[in-house]
């Protein structure tokens, strides 16, 4: 698991401990099996290149960089059934940093 920048890592560190532990476990499964080999309930394709790690009530939006490398773009605690558009917008803006970088 790799973070896009320090602010994303800080978001991850602010998640509850059990959510962080589950997210790390799921990211290891992604590296081992790839997104196609994993699927629900661990991960879900959101839109375009954005995927989400589903760790209890916490979410980490990520993209799969070269191979099976996971780059976390945004971490938050989900409070409703739908993925908040605000969170998705932040993830897309951060993904553009990788594309432009």
Confidence (pLDDT) at 15: 96
Give the helix/strand (H/E) hosting 74: strand 70-77
- Global pTM? 0.91
Q: How confident is the model at residue 1 (pLDDT cuts 50, 70, 90)?
A: confident
Which residue, 74, 80, 73, is CA-closest to 99? 73
Give residue-wise pLDDT tens across range 45-91.
999 999 999 998 999 999 987 666 789 999 999 998 899 999 999 99
User: Domain extents for the chain?
Assistant: 2-100
Confidence (pLDDT) at 101: 61
Q: How confident is the model at residue 36 (pLDDT cuts 50, 70, 90)?
A: confident
Domain covering 2-100 assigned CATH 3.30.2310.20 in the classification: yes
């Amino acid at each position: 698991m790799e973070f896009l920048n320090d602010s994303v890592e800080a978001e991850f560190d602010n998640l509850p401990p059990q959510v962080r532990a589950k997210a790390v476990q799921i990211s290891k499964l992604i590296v081992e099996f790839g997104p196609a080999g994993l699927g629900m309930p661990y991960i879900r394709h959101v839109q375009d290149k954005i995927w989400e790690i589903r760790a209890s009530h916490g979410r980490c939006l990520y993209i799969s960089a070269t191979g099976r490398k996971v780059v976390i773009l945004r971490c938050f605690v989900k409070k409703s059934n739908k993925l908040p558009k605000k969170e998705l917008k932040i993830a897309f803006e951060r993904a553009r940093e990788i594309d432009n970088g």
